[in-house]
Amino acid sequence: MINNLKLEHFKAFREPAELVLDGKNVLVYGENGAGKSSLYQALKIIFHRKWIFDSQIASTVTDPLDRRNAEKDVLGQYNYQLTPLTDFTLEIDNTDYKAYTPSGIDVSMISRDDILAEDVIDVVKLLQKSIVGIADPEKFVTAKKKTIEDLLNLFLKEYFYEEKLTVELTYSRPSWLLTVKDSSRDNRGRNEKLTEYFNEAKLHIIKLLLLLTVILYNGAVDRKDDRILVLDDVISSMDAVNRTFFVELLKDYFDGYQKIILTHSVSFFNMADYAFSIAYRRKDEWKQYQVVEHEGNSIIVERSSQDYASNINKDKRRQPIGDIGNRIRKRFEFLVCEVSKLLYTGGIAESGKLIEAINMPKKLYYEYDAANKKTNTVFDLIEELTTIIDADAGSPLKTKLQDIIDRYVSDTEVPKLRDTICDLAVYQKVSMHPLSHATGAMPLSTQKEIDRSITLLMMLEKQLGTLIGRDLYSI
């Protein structure tokens, strides 16, 4: 099982970042472009580097030197986007990815790209381009035809309640095609022009279930391998009900797998977290993270500051002190981003809320002061209007406008939030930043400063929750 993943200068991650799994299952939420798929690509390089090379380097490149140069070019595509000439570093369980030998581990990976709707589902080609542990897809499908059909139809009927929808494998020289039949519409099975007869969501589900079925029968269980399942945004086209069914299926059939689930859907993240942690009573088997883009760099943050407090207190004896400061600093940067979204658009966490606020039929207020080379925002607009109002003593209009402005500044939680951020900014300068660059020879901050920083983070989260009337992560 995977205990930790460290990466630097990799894809969206400019600075050092770490995903701590401790052998547990992991839920990772991140908006599109935040960097979660970079984690997926990192795992692919670690466990399936040969697969990547074979898929991108022509088989005619046989000279050893040419092959090495071609492989170097392929790996170069994964360097941090803005400085592509600097090679990335990648570690798995504290071992460099090039020196890591994943023997006895079966890592199956499915991304949204693997399950896109197609007019024809050529099963052999699908398994050739998917990372599901099948070396000879045609031989595998021929041998497991009935087994695959039975389990796939069971999934459709008993988990997704598709009573009228059935599938079967049909041999069409030189490959196997997936034939789909919907008896509620007609009794014909179809294996071509599927997108004309079936909606995209159903075809996504069918392909996803097909790949999951293949994973269950790829031989890893018989070999007694450690099994890892990595899923990247595979639920995008599912409605809320089907997502719940999917989580139940994972519980029932992939209990022996370490599951790494990446999603851009905060609602799915929350539902899956509740299902596994509360409904299925497996809280101790799961960890939750969020990937956030901040100033051109992706950072990985734990789900809450309470987790920071418990994890840091639990691990402080064995944890490098620099790592503690780095984690606190990243969490603070993330919360500052959320405060900024709240003040400017009235929403946090979901990009959809930001887009909705921007697209409201209201004017947007922004000015670039070229003379002073300064960007003015709505804060500057209000300040300028307030100056004019103050100069107009005794006017009835002044009273009306002042009452409106006072409504927005009378809330005591906002000044409290500002005070907390100011305090944290001081700790960021004198404690978090030095800790992030500590050499380990001499601690640059005291335990009291660390404890105070964590307390302030928890206060900031609570204040944010009060302002929006709900928990920061319940959106």
pLDDT tens by residue, 108-166: 999 999 999 999 999 999 999 999 999 999 999 999 999 999 999 999 999 998 989 99
pLDDT of residue 430: 56
Q: Is the pLDDT of residue 443 over 70?
A: no
CATH fold of 1-104+227-303: Rossmann fold (3.40.50)
C-alpha span between 14 and 297 (Å, rounded): 5
pLDDT in tens, 351-409: 556 666 667 777 777 787 888 887 887 778 888 888 888 887 777 888 888 888 777 76
Contact, 43 vs 5, CB < 8 A? Answer: yes
Q: Residue 262: helix, strand or coil by DSSP?
A: strand
H runs (alpha helix) in 189-239:
194-197, 200-216, 220-223
- Which residue from 73, 104, 48, 473 is spatially nearest to 272, judged by alpha carbons? 473
C-alpha span between 435 and 327 (Å, rounded): 10
Backbone angles phi, psi at 252, to 5 degrees: -80, -35
CA distances from 44 to 316, 406, 409 (A): 31, 55, 50
Q: Is 473 or 161 the better-scoring residue by pLDDT?
A: 161
Q: Residue 35: helix, strand or coil by DSSP?
A: coil
Q: Residue 475: helix, strand or coil by DSSP?
A: coil
Q: Residue 83: helix, strand or coil by DSSP?
A: coil
Cβ within 8 Å of residue 288, ≥6 positions away: 26, 27, 28, 29, 269, 273, 302, 303, 307
- Which residue from 47, 67, 64, 46 is spatially nearest to 56, judged by alpha carbons? 67
Q: Is the pLDDT of residue 304 over 60?
A: no
Q: Please report which helix (H) or strand (E) contains residue 358, including its range.
A: helix 351-358
Both tokens of 281, joined, read 């009573």
pLDDT of residue 140: 95
pTM exceeding 0.75: no
pLDDT in tens, 222-261: 999 999 999 999 998 888 888 989 999 999 999 999 999 9
Cβ within 8 Å of residue 117, ≥6 positions away: 194, 195, 200, 203, 204, 207
pLDDT in tens, 185-206: 877 889 999 999 998 999 999 9
Write down the domain spans for the chain: 1-104+227-303, 111-224, 335-468
DSSP states of 36-71: HHHHHHHHHHHHHHHHHHHHHS-TT--SHHHHHHHH
Beta strands in 264-303 (DSSP E): 286-294, 297-302
CA 31 to chain centroid, in Å, comes to: 7
C-alpha span between 359 and 367 (Å, rounded): 18
Q: For the chain, what percent of residues have pLDDT higher than 70?
A: 83
Contact, 420 vs 426, CB < 8 A? Answer: no
Q: Please report which helix (H) or strand (E) contains residue 270, including its range.
A: helix 266-274
How confident is the model over 63-68, as a mean pLDDT? Answer: 91
